[in-house]
């Protein structure tokens, strides 16, 4: 009988140790923040923050890489990740359709170019030609419309196609398309390969233009407010300290592009002052409505959270 009691006591102790270990593992998982991204220069602030936080405090951001915006957005909207660096117009559309997400910061400012065939000398030369954008709900679409307006053209004067960013440089080189606008470094890839040239940089069409934003799920914001606050503060700090040299090192690690591509691409982008102000958001909303991306974009108070 004594032996049986000792056996039962041993089993109870082992079970307690097992549950404690499981509890510690669960806590570690809860301490992680899962952030979705695409391997583009527009995501560098969040990639830099992930590296810096782990070095300084051991805090862990689990970066989840996706190959397309629809895949990334599905992960964000279904709660498989806590947040994402995503096209802000896509996030606005998702919010409009009921997704429980909030924009908490910009991803960058500017950083896009309109790249065209070397046969194109001015925007008017695109009449009747084919131009690629990654998604209708994008700043790239807006920048194309701004450029066309400069040349007195409408969207009906050209053929617009949606292509995956990775396909655009080769499509331009082969003559399948005559120009494109997309997240970097894909514009710089065509220029450095001598397959195309820059017709406009984004700031020539829309100064301090918005493109990607840092978006977090409402569940994460509600259930882990302190973690969310620290994450956003550290993210903005990472952007403010992201010099061209640091940005290049981070880009080399995550994007795996030649130095000449990164050097050119990083000339066009800024990561400073990533707050989303009511004024800049209103400019974006005006353009979204003007060019038919949305008739009813979400109100600033409903979509943007900056009161941490």
Average pLDDT, the chain: 89
Q: How far apart are CA 151 and CA 141, in angstroms?
A: 16
The pLDDT tens digits for 39-70 are 999 999 999 998 887 776 666 899 999 999 99
Q: With a cut of 80, say whether residue 38 has pLDDT above it.
A: yes
Statement: 32-109+209-303 belongs to CATH 3.40.190.10 = yes
Q: With a cut of 60, say whether residue 273 has pLDDT above it.
A: yes
The pLDDT tens digits for 24-35 are 334 455 678 999
Q: With a cut of 70, say whether residue 21 has pLDDT above it.
A: no
Look at residue 60 in the predicted model and tell me its pLDDT.
86
Q: How far apart are CA 41 and CA 109, in angstroms?
A: 11
Look at residue 17 in the predicted model and tell me its pLDDT.
40
The pLDDT tens digits for 135-194 are 999 999 999 999 999 999 999 999 999 999 999 999 999 999 999 999 999 999 999 999
Residue intervals in the chain for CATH 3.40.190.10? 32-109+209-303, 113-205
Question: How many other C-beta atoms are found inside a 10 Å radius of the C-beta of residue 260?
Answer: 13
Q: What is the CATH code of the structural domain delimited by 113-205? A: 3.40.190.10
The pLDDT tens digits for 212-252 are 999 999 999 999 999 999 999 999 999 999 999 999 999 99
- Provide, rounded to the nearest whole percent, the portion of the chain with pLDDT above 70: 89
62 strand-pairing partners: 34
Stretch 261-275: mean pLDDT:
94
Q: How far apart are CA 234 and CA 242, in angstroms?
A: 12
**Band of pLDDT at residue 12, cut at 50, 70 and 90:** very low
Look at residue 59 in the predicted model and tell me its pLDDT.
67
Q: How far apart are CA 131 and CA 255, in angstroms?
A: 25
pTM: 0.87
């Amino acid at each position: 009988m004594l032996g049986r009691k000792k056996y039962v006591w041993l089993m109870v102790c082992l079970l307690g140790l097992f549950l404690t270990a499981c509890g510690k593992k669960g806590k570690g998982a809860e301490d992680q923040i899962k952030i979705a991204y695409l391997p583009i220069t527009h995501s560098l602030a969040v990639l830099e923050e992930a590296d810096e936080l782990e070095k300084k405090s051991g805090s862990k951001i689990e970066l989840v890489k996706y190959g397309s915006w629809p895949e990334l957005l599905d992960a964000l909207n279904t709660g498989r990740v806590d947040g994402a660096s995503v096209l802000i117009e896509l996030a606005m559309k998702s919010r409009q359709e009921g997704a429980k997400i909030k924009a908490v910061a910009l991803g960058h400012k500017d950083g896009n170019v309109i790249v065209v065939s070397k046969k194109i000398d001015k925007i008017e030369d695109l009449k009747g030609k084919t131009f690629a954008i990654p998604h209708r709900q994008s700043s790239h679409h807006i920048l194309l419309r701004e450029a066309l307006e400069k040349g007195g053209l409408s969207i009906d004067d050209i053929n617009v196609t949606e292509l995956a960013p990775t396909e655009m440089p080769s499509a331009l080189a082969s003559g399948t398309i005559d120009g494109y606008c997309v997240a970097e470094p894909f514009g710089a890839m065509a220029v450095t390969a001598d397959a195309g040239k820059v017709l406009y940089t984004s700031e020539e069409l829309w100064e301090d233009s918005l493109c990607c934003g840092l978006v977090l799920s409402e569940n994460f914001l509600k259930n882990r407010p302190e973690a969310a606050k620290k994450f956003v503060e550290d993210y903005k700090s990472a952007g403010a300290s992201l010099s061209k040299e640091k940005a290049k090192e981070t880009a080399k690690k995550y994007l795996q592009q030649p130095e000449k591509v990164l050097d050119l691409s990083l000339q066009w982008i800024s990561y400073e002052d990533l707050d989303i102000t009511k004024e800049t958001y209103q400019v974006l909303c005006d353009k979204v409505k003007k060019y038919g991306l949305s008739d009813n974009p979400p109100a600033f108070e409903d979509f943007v959270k900056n009161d941490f």
